[in-house]
Amino acid sequence: MGYIKVIVLSAVVALSIIFMIQNITPLSHPLGIRLNLFFVNWESTPYPTYLVILLAFFVGLLAASLVGINERWRLRRQVKAQVKRTEELRKELNSLRNLPVTGEPMVAGTADLPGEAFSAGEAQGGDEMPASLEKLEEGPAENGLNSGKDKR
């Protein structure tokens, strides 16, 4: 992408130079800049028109470059701040991942169910199914959960 910008800019400068060389006599006419305000009257020395055009071009180029450099510095500071914040969050995430798990171990199938408590010993010992699991096997409409139409 950078090569394309250089090529386009070079072509614009080359065409500008060719234009000025081919039209040197009309562009050589002296041009003076005048500023008349209520309290200030100023007039520049007359310069050839092509010099005024070149001066305006390079002043605009300088102004655009300064704006671009300022924007680049601002974005670079913003990227550094975002990288720093990302690294802080990554460290926090890693520290949370490395925390020890505390509390009672969970047995598969022991969610917070209404009704009787279910322990691993009951599942191994008998063929009976606890009442809380029987409610789940009945289906959503029979045990009062999700009563009405299914939202799928």
Residues 6+ apart with CB under 8 A from 110: 118, 119
CA–CA dist 111, 80 (Å, integer): 45
Q: What is the pLDDT of residues 82-94, one digit of tens each?
A: 999 999 999 999 9
Report the percentage of the chain scoring pLDDT > 70.
68
Q: pTM of this prediction?
A: 0.45
Return the SS3 of 30. Answer: strand
Geometric angle at alpha carbon 41, from 35 and 31, rounded to 5°: 45
